[in-house]
């Protein structure tokens, strides 16, 4: 399996086993100091937008971030996922873009 370098602020595609078993994007929030840890801390992204500005940060599609639709970073769904579940790096995203 190819090793994918993952850093803080990357948007990655990962596959979650269970209720939401489809590949989905997630925003990496883990410090780069722990890049060799077997788990990565992420906030999943969703295109199901709700009015919850305290817990959901809006990402607008741009050429730079590669998103197709407006999405929310689901801060309320922060999770640690296994590094081997990350399928690919989508983009290095800076919140001030």
- Is 6 in contact with 87 (CB distance < 8 Å)? no
Range 42-70 average pLDDT: 88
pLDDT band at 3 (very low <50, low <70, confident <90, very high): low
- Domain spanning 10-92: CATH 2.30.30.110: yes
- Structure confidence at residue 8 (pLDDT): 73
Sketch the domain layout of the chain as residue ranges. 10-92
Which tens digits make up the pLDDT trace of 17-32? Answer: 655 567 788 888 888 7
Asked if pLDDT for residue 96 goes beyond 70, the answer is no
CA distances from 26 to 71, 87 (A): 11, 11
Model's pTM, two decimal places? Answer: 0.76
């Amino acid at each position: 399996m190819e090793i994918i370098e993952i850093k803080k602020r990357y948007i990655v595609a990962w596959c979650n086993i269970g209720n939401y078993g489809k590949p989905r994007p997630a925003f990496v929030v883990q410090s780069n100091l722990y890049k060799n840890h077997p788990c990565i801390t992420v906030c999943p992204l969703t295109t199901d937008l709700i009015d919850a500005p305290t817990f959901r940060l809006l990402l607008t599609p741009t050429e730079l971030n590669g998103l197709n639709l407006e999405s929310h970073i689901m801060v309320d769904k922060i999770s640690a996922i296994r590094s081997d579940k990350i399928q690919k790096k989508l983009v290095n995203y800076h919140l001030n873009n």
